[in-house]
């Protein structure tokens, strides 16, 4: 299978390894150094680039390429970074946004029959359900899909125009030429009903060291609201669905099923070295399987729900955001939980 690169920005040309990525899309994808690129169906649309870890997409806390301070929810506070690093960070953020929009398109497709393709729906009181759906879908397509998934000017301009006549022509051009290819592309997401990824979260070790026990009490959230950007596309919820015995055993021990407070053993010298370096957080990596829940949406504004489970009980801990400095491996079924 050949891989066609389209829409890649300058400065990001790497040696390409061609592979099949089962479970996400059947379309061609290319793996580059530190990235996975999902190739669009034509030059009219953007390539979607996600960060990679051990051959799978990396989501959650991202590598911001040299940023000294990182918001656990994925935002960036710039430290000393050069233009290439800034460009890479922007490309990763754009890729996550674009992928989230593609997922949204997949799940709102059943409501596209309500979309008025000939005129722009006016928001008013006492709208019918069909009119309300049309207004929502038009706003979604014009304000999010076209600006973020299109490269072709006719596609990107769908929400623009100097007057109502020009805006309507641009909208109809988008619907006639670009909407169906985008919808078809979106249907390739989760074709096999699941998505295997690595999720990265932070462990805060900025509090006081526990000299009696020798380590830190840390908290690991089991609610993964950082896989999909919250403001891109239809709202998405990701909930923990324990399937294996070790996952169920963990949940049975927790007072609150949304998170696991546990004790992280660490010798005093290592802890002091971290403090001297200003390193107040570690990075926890786990391999998870994400699957859409079989819940039919009542309307296109409802959240899309996903469940996830762990592929292994391993919780890998790294000291750096780039995940190059491995600290230790914990087992989910062997955590010392806080009572």
Low-confidence ranges of the chain (pLDDT < 70): 1-33, 67-81
CA–CA separation, 289 and 291 (whole Å): 7
| Chain segment 220-278, per-residue pLDDT in tens | 999 998 999 887 888 999 999 999 999 999 999 999 999 999 999 999 999 999 999 99
Q: Are the CB atoms for 31 and 5 separated by under 8 Å?
A: no
pLDDT at 143: 94
Positive or negative: CA dihedral 157, 161, 167, 169:
negative
pLDDT given for residue 65 in this prediction = 83
Residue 155's pLDDT is what? Answer: 95
- Residue 81, pLDDT score: 64
Indicate the SS3 state at residue 327. Answer: strand
Rounded-to-10 torsion of CA 72, 75, 80, 85:
110
pTM of the model: 0.83
Sign of CA dihedral 217, 222, 226, 230: negative
What pLDDT is recorded for position 339? 75
Give the model's pLDDT for residue 178: 97
Residue 297, pLDDT score: 85
pLDDT at 89: 82
DSSP per-residue codes, 133-183: HHHHHHHHIIIIIHHHHB-SHHHHGGG--SSHHHHHHHHHHHHHHTHHHHH
User: Is the separation of the CB atoms in 92 and 49 below 8 Å?
Assistant: yes
Q: Are 291 and 306 in contact, with CB atoms under 8 Å apart? A: yes
- Grouping H, G, I as helix, E, B as strand and the rest as coil, residue 63 is coil
């Amino acid at each position: 299978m050949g891989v066609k690169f389209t829409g890649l920005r300058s400065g990001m040309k790497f040696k390409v390894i061609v592979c099949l990525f089962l479970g996400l899309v059947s379309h061609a994808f290319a793996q580059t150094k530190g990235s996975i690129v999902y190739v669009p169906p034509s030059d009219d649309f953007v390539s979607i680039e996600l960060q990679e870890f051990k051959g799978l997409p990396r989501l959650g806390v991202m590598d911001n390429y040299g940023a000294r301070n990182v918001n656990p929810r994925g935002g960036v506070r710039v430290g000393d970074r050069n233009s290439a690093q800034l460009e890479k960070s922007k490309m990763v953020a754009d890729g996550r946004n674009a992928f989230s929009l593609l997922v949204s398109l997949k799940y709102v497709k059943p409501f596209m029959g309500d979309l008025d393709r000939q005129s722009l729906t006016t928001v008013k009181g006492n709208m019918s359900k069909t009119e309300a759906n049309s207004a929502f879908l038009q706003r979604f397509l014009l304000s999010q899909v076209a600006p973020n998934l299109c490269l072709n000017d006719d596609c990107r301009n769908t929400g623009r125009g100097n007057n109502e006549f020009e805006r309507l022509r641009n909208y109809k051009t988008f619907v006639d030429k670009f909407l169906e290819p985008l919808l078809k592309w979106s249907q390739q997401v989760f074709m096999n009903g699941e998505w295997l990824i690595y999720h990265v979260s932070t462990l805060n070790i900025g509090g006081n060291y526990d000299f009696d026990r020798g380590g830190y009490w840390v908290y690991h959230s089991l609610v993964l609201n950082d896989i999909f950007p919250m403001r891109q596309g239809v709202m998405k919820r990701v909930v923990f669905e324990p399937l294996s015995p070790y996952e169920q055993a963990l949940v049975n021990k927790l007072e609150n099923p949304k998170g696991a407070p546990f004790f992280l053993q660490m010798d005093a010298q290592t802890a002091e070295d971290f403090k001297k370096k200003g390193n107040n957080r570690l990075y926890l990596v786990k391999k998870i399987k994400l699957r859409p829940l079989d819940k039919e949406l009542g309307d296109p504004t409802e959240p899309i729900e996903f469940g996830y489970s762990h592929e292994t009980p391993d919780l890998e801990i790294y000291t750096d955001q780039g995940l190059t400095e491995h600290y230790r491996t914990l087992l989910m079924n062997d955590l010392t939980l806080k009572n």
